[in-house]
Every structure is written in C-alpha cells, then in structure tokens.
Chain A
Amino acid sequence: MNKLMLSLAAATALAGVAGPAFADKTDKLVTDEYREKIAVARAEPGVAEYGAVYLDRASDRIAKLDKKLDNDKSGQAEAVAGEINALIETARTRARIAMLKADVERAKAQAAAQTNEKVADAQATAASAQADAAAARAEADRLKAKMRDYQLKQTQFGATLVLQDVVFETGKADLKAGSAQRLQPLAQYLQANPAVKVRIDGHTDSQGADAYNQQLSQARAEAVRTALAGMGVASDRITAVGHGETQPVADNKIAAGRQQNRRVEVTLVGQQADAFAAVN
C-alpha cells in the first residue's frame, strides 16, 4: 500500500514538472515568427529608437507566452497575433511620427526664416521709402524756403518774381554769368509742380527807340525762358512776352525809376504769392 501511494505521489509530482516537455511545436514556430517580425521592424530606420516601448512590449508578451506554452494547450500563439502586429505597427508609426516631426520642425524653421527674411526686406524697403520721403520733404522745404526768398508779389496773373536788369548784360539779352543760378530754385519748383504754367514779361525803360526796346524786352523774356528750359522746364509751359517801354512801374524821368522799369517779370500763373510767403 505504501509502495502504491509512493508511486502515485511520485507520478503526480513528476507530471507537474514534466509538463514543459510537451510544448507545442507549432506555437514555438509562431512565436519565432513574431520574434523575427520584431527584429525586422527594429532594424528599420528610427523604429528601435522611437518604437522601442512597443517592440519591448511585444517581446515581453512573446516571452511570457513562451513560458505559458509549456503548460497550456496549443493555439495560444496565434491568439496574440493581433496584439503583436498592432504593437509592431505602432512602433513603426511612432518612428514615422518622430521623423515627420523633425521634418515639420525643419519646414517650420525654414518657413519662419523665409517670413523673417520677407519682413526684413519689407522693413528695409519701408525704411528706405521713409528715408526717401524724408529727403523729399527736406528738399521740398528747402525749395519752398528758396521760393520764399524770391519775395513773390501778387499780380493779376499770379505770383510774380521780378528780375531787375542787373541780371542782364547792359543793352543785351544775355543773362549775366551766375544770374541763371538764381533761377535754379524756380526751375526746381516748376519741375516739382508740372501743372504750373509760367508767364515771362520783358520790360524796358523809355530810353532808346520803341522798336529797339520792344525787341530787347522780347529777347530778354526769351532768354529767361531758354534758361528755364535748360534747367528742365518744358518750353510749352512757358509764355514769353516783350512789352518794351509800354508798361512802366516807375518814373522814367529819374534814374531810379528807369532802373525799376528795366525788368523781367516771371509769373507763376494762377498761384498765390501769399502761399510762398507763408512757407516756413
């Protein structure tokens, strides 16, 4: 009886220990296939680095499964196929995410750099435009100041500048050297204000023949027009008229009066003299 009990107990105990020897070979093959799949995935770019958590989970699952296979029935390996495949796929996806994130960051940085470059260009352009505008304003102010210096008078035709005969050679229609320079601010103003037309009226005193005086006044008016045209003012904006001695502004009997009468008047047609006088 004792022998029988001893045999039964020993057989039962051995059965518990000997179980692993009956592991299902098909399941072993399946788990080996899983391991191979994991190894293949791990060798792919970035997967070992970014998908390690999932591949390790899969490996761990297979390791545990292997242990259980020794004690359990066959078919267990196939049962975890869905989980293993999902874990491997997740590992691959995580690797793609990591690489794509890096690519997106690069693209963002590139886009930001391009944007910054555009902004910098725009700022530079704006700054340049502002500088140009400031320079233009300064030039306009300078021009206005020079126009104010002309001390324009209001006449029936507009704002009038009077050039005394001292700007001409005696008895001639030629402008004296340096006198043309005095017309420079006027020419610049006319260039900046292309709608403004100019009327030039030449006058003489009463000495000499009328015909001569008429010719001289006309020639002097033409000389001023030529000078302005030479400074870039279109000739068709300028009307030159000689009046001879017919329109004196002072007494021709005295020298001072005759000097006042020998003149060329340059009129900015339709402009107000006050507008120039008020310029700061």
Chain B
Amino acid sequence: MKKLLYIALAAASLSALAVPGAAIAGDEDDARVAIAAAKAKLDAAEKAGVGGNAGDVLNRSRSVLDEANARFRKDEDRHALVLAQEADALADLAAATAELRALENERSKIAAN
C-alpha cells in the first residue's frame, strides 16, 4: 500500500514538472499560428489599399508583427504570441478605420450633392 502511494506521489510530481514543458511547446505553435493570422490580415489590408489614419494603424500593426517575428526567432514564444495578437487586433482596427473613413467620404459626397 505504501509502495503504491510512493508511486502515485512520484507520478504526480513528475507530471507537475512535465506540464511547463508541454506549455512551452504549445506556445510556439500558438505564436506561429498567431503570426501567420496577423500577417494574413495585414496583407489583406494592404491589398485593400488602406491609407490615411488607417494607414498609420496598419503601420503600427506591421511594426508590432515585425517585433513578434523577432521575438519568435529568439524563442521568446509567449512574448511573440502576445505581440502577434496585438498586431492582429491592430490590423482589424486598421480595416475598420479604413471602412469608416470611406463611409464618411461617401456621406460627405451625398451631403454635397
């Protein structure tokens, strides 16, 4: 019975040590996926010709994504993941800002006519 208890405790302690390792492997994958997703959004926004204020936001997104890539190359996966998610969110903001500006222009034209 005592032997069984030792084995159980040993297994528990081993699993406690093993979990962080698994988490690291997951972070690398998550960072890679997040970087790819952010890049896809950035590329789409660039193709759409985002400019003006939205262009500034897009530049910030690109800059943050560059930093995310740099961190990823240095195996700072969690930091890279956080930065990639920020770049992704900024790309969304750039697209929304561009859409808003286009609508504002359209509204002005209607008002002018």
Contacts and interface: CB of A to CB of B under 8 A. Distances in A.
Contacts of A16: 12-13, 15-16, 19
Given A61-B85, A97-B100, A104-B103, A9 B13 contact: yes
A90 B113 contact: no
B99 A9 contact: no
The CB with the most chain A CB atoms within 10 A, among B88, B93, B111, is that of B93
A100 B104 contact: yes
Contacts of A6: 5-6, 9
Given A2-B2, A100-B104, A100-B107, A13 B92 contact: no
B23 to A, nearest CB: 8
B53 to A, nearest CB: 11
A90 B82 CA distance: 18
B14 to A, nearest CB: 9
Interface of B is mostly: helix
A107 B82 contact: no
Contact of A100 (B17, B82, B88, B103): B103
B93 A90 contact: yes
Interface residues of A, number: 34
Interface string A1-27: 010011011101101100000000000
B24 to A, nearest CB: 12
Q: Chain B contact residues (Cβ within 8 angstroms of A): what range?
A: 20 to 34
In the complex, which of the residues A13, A103, A108 has the most CB atoms of chain B within 10 Å of its own CB atom? Answer: A13
Contacts of B5: 6
A103 B85 contact: no
Nearest to A86: B89
Nearest to B54: A93
B8 to A, nearest CB: 9
Nearest to A87: B89
Interface string B79-105: 100100110111011001101100110
A107 B107 contact: yes
B96 A93 contact: yes
A87 to B, nearest CB: 5
Interface string A99-134: 011011001100100000000000000000000000
A9 B82 CA distance: 35
B44 to A, nearest CB: 15
Contact of B110 (A2, A96, A111): A111
- Give the interface centre of A2, A87, A93, A111 by most chain B CB atoms within 10 Å: A93
A2 B100 CA distance: 70
Contact of A90 (B6, B64, B79, B92): B92
Contacts of B104: 100
A195 interface: no
A243 interface: no
Given A61-B85, A79-B79, A87-B93, 4 more contacts: A16-B12, A93-B99, A101-B103, A107-B110
13 contacts: A6-B5, A12-B16, A82-B90, A83-B85, A83-B89, A84-B89, A90-B89, A93-B93, A93-B96, A93-B100, A100-B104, A104-B107, A107-B111
Interface of B: 2, 5-6, 9-10, 12-13, 15-17, 19, 64, 79, 82, 85-86, 88-90, 92-93, 96-97, 99-100, 103-104, 106-107, 110-111, 113
